[in-house]
Each structure stands twice: as structure tokens, then as C-alpha cells.
A and B are shown apart, each in its own frame.
Chain A
Amino acid sequence: AQSVTQLGSHVSVSEGALVLLRCNYSSSVPPYLFWYVQYPNQGLQLLLKYTSAATLVKGINGFEAEFKKSETSFHLTKPSAHMSDAAEYFCAVSLSNDYKLSFGAGTTVTVRA
């Protein structure tokens, strides 16, 4: 079975600073990996996904993530945080042949002015 672990349930950054959210996965077969964002009282929105193509994936809102097989990681970064990035972020994994998502526990990002 596949699973993800998100390191850090809360991250606080200053506006303009680097955002780094950590995600490690376990999977018995090549995984698909995703990052979703959830704003208060809203559903999840896909930020980006890795589906075995380029290991550096660019997503919406200036976010990107790098798939590192040797480290079983898929960390999410954004060079310069904006106030609008305050939200909860979820890493998720699915097997390449069944598309069922398994989510991490989430990381809440707060951005300080």
C-alpha cells in the first residue's frame, strides 16, 4: 500500500521568503504524486502533479516540486511567499495504475507580513 508523510503540521514564513513543504512517500510501484491546496471553507485544488515525466514539476501560483526517487521525496517550494499563499497544503500519492489518492495529514502555512 502507498502512503505519504508530511513533515511539519504548521509552517510560518515571512512574506517574500522561501516556502518549503516536505513530503515523503512510500510505494511498492512507481507512484504518481500530487500537491493540493485547500483554502478555508473550500475544496481541494490541484497545485501540481508528477506522473513519471520530468522530475521537476511546475504548478500554479509559482509553486514547483521535485521528485527524488533516491530520497522518496516530493517537496514543494515557492521562492517568494505571498499573503495569498496562506492555506493548508496536502501531499498525495496514487499508484500509476489505479489513481486512488492517499493523502498526508496536511501542512498549514501562515504568512507573516
Chain B
Amino acid sequence: EAGVAQSPRYKIIEKRQSVAFWCNPISGHATLYWYQQILGQGPKLLIQFQNNGVVDDSQLPKDRFSAERLKGVDSTLKIQPAKLEDSAVYLCASSFGGEAHYNEQFFGPGTRLTVL
């Protein structure tokens, strides 16, 4: 079974530029998560999708971050404009979803963003 795919793996941009990350979850997984992991910290949830609807985006800085999951499968996370403090690893995770099945999250390898 293929895992969660993310691209690009690395991205270097200058502040005020825009950047987009892509995630393809495990086939059949209804729930998709984006996390931000700043160096030395644990991952922090940015947004959670259930199919193509947003469940929780309370920690997403909506003035500069946006995310979509138009067809309920893959997803993109965008930052516009980027700030120095956005330098982090952006992790995508997916889970089967549904209360009858424990909702284990499977993580992709992440995209390491450096903002100069």
C-alpha cells in the first residue's frame, strides 16, 4: 500500500514570495491533516479536512495560509506572502476516518520550507 505522498520535499524562497505544497493521501482515507513542525517543536495542526470539507482550521493563519481539497483526495497548502517565521517542515497526514475504526494518522515525509 502506497503511503502519503508530498511534494516538493524541499523548498527555499525569499520572504514575501508565495509557495504551495501538495499532498496525496493514502487511497480511501477520508480525513487529511496539515501540520507545521518548527525546528525543536512538535507538529502543530494547521487544518483538518473530512473529505473535501474543513473540520478544523482554528490554528491556520488565514491572512497568509490557505488550503484546499477540492475533490476530497489530494490537497494543496499555500502560503502567500511567506514570512521568515514560516520556515518549518510541513507534514501531511491522512486517516481512514469514522468512529467505528480507530483513527490512526499516517504521515508523509514532509516538505522542508526555508524562508530567507
Count A/B pairs, Cβ under 8 Å.
Answer: 48
Which of A11-19, A55-63, A66-74, A97-105 lies at the interface?
A97-105
Known: A105-B42, A106-B41. A44 touches B91 (CB 8 A): yes
Q: Are A101 and B102 in contact, CB atoms less than 8 angstroms apart?
A: no
Which of B13-21, B75-83, B103-111 lies at the interface?
B103-111
Which positions 1-60 of chain A face chain B at CB distance < 8 Å?
9, 36, 41-46, 49, 51
A41 vs B37: C-alpha distance when bound (angstroms): 12
Q: Which of A45, A99, A104 contacts B42 (CB 8 A)?
A: A104
A90 vs B42: C-alpha distance when bound (angstroms): 7
Interface residue? A92 (CB, 8 A): yes
Q: Are A44 and B44 in contact, CB atoms less than 8 angstroms apart?
A: no
Main secondary structure of the interface of B (DSSP, over half): loop
Residues of B within 8 A of A42 (CB): 109-110
Q: Are A99 and B95 in contact, CB atoms less than 8 angstroms apart?
A: yes
Question: Nearest B residue to A106 by beta-carbon distance?
Answer: B42
Interface residue? B30 (CB, 8 A): no
Question: Nearest A residue to B110 by beta-carbon distance?
Answer: A43
Q: Which of B4, B44, B95 contacts A43 (CB 8 A)?
A: B4
Interface residues on B, range: 20 to 34
A46 vs B106: C-alpha distance when bound (angstroms): 8
A51 vs B104: C-alpha distance when bound (angstroms): 11
Known: A49-B104, A99-B95, A100-B56. A43 touches B109 (CB 8 A): yes
A and B contact pairs by CB, cutoff 8 A, 22 listed:
A36-B107, A41-B109, A41-B110, A42-B109, A43-B91, A43-B93, A43-B110, A44-B43, A44-B93, A44-B107, A46-B104, A46-B106, A49-B104, A51-B102, A92-B42, A99-B95, A100-B45, A103-B43, A103-B44, A105-B41, A105-B42, A106-B40
List the interface of chain A (C-beta within 8 A of B).
Answer: 9, 36, 41-46, 49, 51, 90, 92, 99-101, 103-106
